[in-house]
A and B are shown apart, each in its own frame.
Chain A
Amino acid sequence: MALSFIEGNEAIGRGAIASGCRFFAGYPITPATTILNTMLTLLPPLGGICLQAEDEIASIGACLGASMAGLKVMTATSGPGISLYSEHISFAVGSEIPIVIVDVQRLAPSTGSATRGADGDICFLRWGNSGGMPVIVLAPENVADCFTLTMHAFNLAEKFRCPVFIASNKEIGMTRESVDLDALATPDIINRTPSPAGKPFLPFQIDDDQMVPDFLPIGSDIPVRQTSSTHGTNGYITTDSQEISRILERLKNKLESAVAEFSFYELLGAGQSETLVIAYGVTARAAKSVYRELKSSGQPISLLILKTLWPIPEAVIRRAAQGVKRVIAVEMNLGQYVWEIKRILVDQHLDFYGQMDGRLISPHKIKEIIIHG
């Protein structure tokens, strides 16, 4: 076993390269800047493009253009940049453009605190697109996750032709950590499905057994259309309500019906548990520390660490909570994902602890909630 010492942001960059990412555009913003730095170091020598764009709107816009030209693309920012990305997130959702978007979250609303962490964008990522269509959000817990979840993110973006978010946090992105890079469980690479040669091509046409249209890049022998407007299967604007409804329902169903395929999570201590703690992101690490301590003293506790946040892995949450007397949700905000858990576990006793002051939630605090409620 050999250990490397890298930060979460660098691991995301290296995971992207390992996934075949060949285009990155970003705009400097703490705590995401070191992803831009990493890509600038890694991409150009590989013949890839790393662009520092004039603003965040242009960063993601350039990515969408490059993705339509067939490249695997990524951009990275923090909350203020996600705000500016919004119109292009909607474009990527509605027009099925594969892209990986990293949000290294920082504290508080607006410009907030550049060098303090939080998980304050968790619902913003889900709901920050006009039209409210589902997106995929993966939440790393450590440097190893930053690498492997980024690879999954590329695979999912390619497979489902959609934006996939990495919901990181300053506390992961800018924390350096020892990691055995050779021991990571990395997935096989998935590429978007090309439209078979000879088959008539319509940019948003699917076969009966498909949920996601085949892809041809702009620049193919056949002219390819892409549009941000409400379109039919031919990629032209349409007012046909039946066709519109078919396509929009497909956008929803292609992700929500498949969530079992990409429900990443870790469940510790299932079976003899009375108290289930649910956490994600860097907070899961404090929860794990408490879990280990209490479990070793024989307490009936379990811990569910969610790494797929959206679409919500409802089945995973229900299964983990089966038979427990009490569920405790902990998150580094003042209560966001807990409302989804409450909706899913409507009949179960649910306690919540949230904290948003730039400090990590400590194991001590979580233990206090577990013991004293």
Chain B
Amino acid sequence: MVSLLNDARPPVFCPGCSHERITHTLDKAFQNMGLTGDRVVMVSDIGCSGLFDTFFNTHALHGLHGRALTYAAGLKLARPDLKVVVTMGDGGQGIGGAHLLAACRRNLDLTLLILNNFNFGMTGGQYSATTPPDALVGSAFLNQLERPLDICQVARSAGAAYVTRCSAYRKDLDAEIQRAIEFEGFAVLDIWGVCPGRYTKKNRLTPKTIDEALAGLPPVEGIVDENTRMEYGRHYRQLSGNLKPAPVPPKIEAEFQSPAAHRQELTLLGSAGQRIITAGEILCLAGLTAGLNTTQKNEYNITVMRGPSISELILSPQEIDYTGIDRPDVIVALAPEGVDRRRQIFEQIDGNTLILQAAGVAVPNCQARIHQMDLKAQGIKKPDWALASVGVLAKLGRIINPEMLAAALKIKFKGKTLENSLELVEKVATV
């Protein structure tokens, strides 16, 4: 049994600090397990608990206050074979509360030792999330205003699979730490101790009073039955193990001749549920089948099932520099929500712009040429209006043609959806 303590850097804690005791106990646990320094990572953050990594001849990652669990997660996912032991104080547990909750929910195989000494020792004995309200600490009366956090209750309710509350002076602490490290899952030890440099200067706290206080609480020890489940990393590898590689984006060869000789800008103005964005994509794919360069920008509300849905498209035989559309060549007006959102463009357009206007959708007075489409009368349902409009455009020979559109649909859709969409663009009338 070889000690993993770093002879060159002995502990530097205040005399009587329980952290020093835990340092030696942890080393004993490592020895009992026969671990070598290259199998162990000590992850720590700020405060006196953050000194731990320097006392051991192991791998070490020391970072920012309360964030130790975040580094530990990355390390353990990358190297599941390593034993990752995290030390945090009650301070780090407070500032890193979100990470503690996430670690409990996740159940990654980490061991968290919370060195709970009820105050911020390093910065002057300020109150922490676990300071009792009647303690005298370096934060004047503020600790009287807040209720201390029961780390174990929080950890259990957040899903931690192994939770123990104990004293730093517990006789078999080394065995308990060993059990926690050997447990495959997230293990939290809330280890109560004394801070002679700050806390016990004005508060009575001894190994005996810690034992008395613990005896007055319901015991929390070891595996939490209701939270027992598969370890996160193992589960992750199981779920991802059989995934097929993601397909590469389709590569589309130019096989047709586009009716467009120069840059064409289109704006589809509709509403949620009209599949505006899909129709825009299909129009661009159709462009690609004729070797056109294309861009597509979309706009919709964050509440995606209500409000305007707009797609702005550029198709061009030349390289597309500017992706903005100020004066579109074609406007497809399918819903008042979209028309309202882009009301200003109707002031900028002239007779060169073609508007495909769905019956019943008013557009502002303007100079554009208007092509009316009564899609409803043709028995086309609203979710198909956008694609039907693209069909109209193809039939009019504007920018794309029917064979480009059919090729695009074959790239985008399969099976029944493909059949239906081909049928839709075939049947849609241009008058």
Contact = CB atoms under 8 A, between A and B. Distances in A.
A26 to B, nearest CB: 13
Contact of B284 (A60, A178, A359): A178
B236 interface: yes
Task: Count chain A CB atoms within 10 A of each CB in B38, B43, B295, B322 and give the residue with the most.
Answer: B322
Interface string A298-310: 0000000000000
Contact of A57 (B9, B54, B70, B326): B70
Task: Describe B's contact surface by its main secondary structure.
Answer: mixed
Nearest to B84: A65
A54 B101 contact: yes
Contact of A175 (B74, B99, B246, B323): B323
Given A70-B78, A226-B60, 4 more contacts: A62-B70, A68-B71, A115-B299, A174-B297
B79 A69 contact: yes
Interface residues of A, number: 76
Nearest to A227: B62
Interface residues of B, number: 67
B99 A54 contact: yes
Nearest to A172: B323
B302 A176 contact: no
Interface string A39-75: 0011011110101011101101111111111110100
Interface of A: 1-6, 10, 23, 25, 30, 41-42, 44-47, 49, 51, 53-55, 57-58, 60-71, 73, 87-88, 91, 114-115, 171, 174-178, 181-182, 217-229, 235-237, 282, 285-286, 288-289, 292, 359-360, 362-364
A45 B246 contact: yes
B96 to A, nearest CB: 9
Given A42-B246, A58-B99, A3 B64 contact: no
Given A2-B252, A219-B79, A223-B57, A65 B284 contact: no
Contacts of B429: none
Interface of B: 9, 37-38, 41, 43, 53-54, 57-64, 67, 69-79, 81-82, 98-99, 101-102, 236, 239-240, 243-246, 249-254, 281, 284-285, 287-288, 291-299, 302, 320-324, 326
Contacts of A44: 236, 239-240, 243
A2 B75 CA distance: 40
A65 B64 contact: no
A220 B291 contact: no
11 contacts: A2-B253, A5-B288, A10-B249, A23-B78, A45-B243, A46-B245, A51-B73, A54-B99, A61-B64, A69-B74, A218-B59
Contact of A71 (B73, B78, B246): B78
A344 B37 CA distance: 51
A1 B291 contact: yes
A62 to B, nearest CB: 4
Contacts of A218: 41, 59, 61, 75, 79, 82
Given A1-B254, A175-B323, A178-B284, A58 B58 contact: no
A62 B110 CA distance: 13
B60 A223 contact: yes
Contacts of A176: 281, 284, 294-297
